[in-house]
Structure 1
Amino acid sequence: MDSRIGYDDDFYAWTQEQARLLREAARERLNTPIDWDHVAEEIEDMGRNDRRAINSHLARIIEHLLKLEFSPASDPRSGWRKSVREQRAAAVDALADSPSLKGHVDLPSAFRRGRGFATDGLGQDRVDEHALPSECPYGLDQLLDEDWWPVNRHDLV
Structure 2
Amino acid sequence: MGFHAKHDEDFYAWAMEQAARLREAAASGTNLPLDWENLAEEIESMGRSDRREAISRLSRIIEHLLKLEHSPAEQPREAWRRSVVEQRMSLPLLLDDSPSLRAKLDGFLEDAWRQGRREALYGLERDCVFDRDLPRDCPYRVEELLDEAFWPPNRHGLA
TM-score by structure 2 length?
0.89
Match for residue 134 of structure 1?
136
Other-structure match for 1:154: 156
Alpha-carbon separation, structure 2, partners of 1:128 and 1:22: 49
User: Offset of 1:30 from its aligned partner?
Assistant: 3.2
What is the distance in 2 between the residues matched to 1:20 and 1:129? 42
| 2:97 maps to amino acid | D
Residue 26 of structure 2 corresponds to which residue in structure 1? 26
> Which residue of structure 2 aligns with residue 17 of structure 1?
17
2-side partners of 1:75 and 1:14: how far apart?
44
1:16 touches 1:43 (CA, 8 Å); kept in 2? Answer: yes
Q: How does 1:43-58 map to 2 (within 5 A)?
A: 43-58=43-58
> Which residue matches 1:70?
70
- Give the Cα–Cα distance (whole angstroms) in 2 for the partners of residues 65 and 18 of structure 1: 37
Whole-Å separation in 1 of the counterparts to 2:157 and 2:144: 20
Q: What's the CA shift for 1:56?
A: 1.1
> Per the alignment, in what secondary structure is the counterpart of residue 154 of structure 1?
coil
CA positional deviation for 1:22: 1.4
Separation in 2, partners of 1:112, 1:34: 39
Q: Which residue of 1 aligns with 2:86?
A: 86
- The corresponding residue for 1:122 is 124
Give secondary structure in 2 for the equivalent of 1:7: helix
For residue 8 of structure 1, give the secondary structure of its aligned residue in structure 2: helix
Q: Distance in 1 between matches of 2:38 and 2:55?
A: 25
Distance 1:124 1:29 in 2: 60
SS at 1:133 equivalent: coil
Aligned residue number for residue 41 of structure 1: 41
> Cα RMSD between the aligned structures?
1.8
Q: CA deviation at 1:3?
A: 7.9
Deviations 1:83-120 (A, max 9, x none): 11122222221112112113333211211111111111
8 Å Cα contact 1:3-1:17 kept in structure 2:
no
State the distance in 1 between where 2:2 and 2:12 align.
Answer: 13
Instruction: Give the TM-score taking structure 1 as reference length.
Output: 0.91
Structure 1 residues without counterparts, runs of 5 or longer = none
Q: Which moved more, 1:60-69 or 1:36-45?
A: 36-45
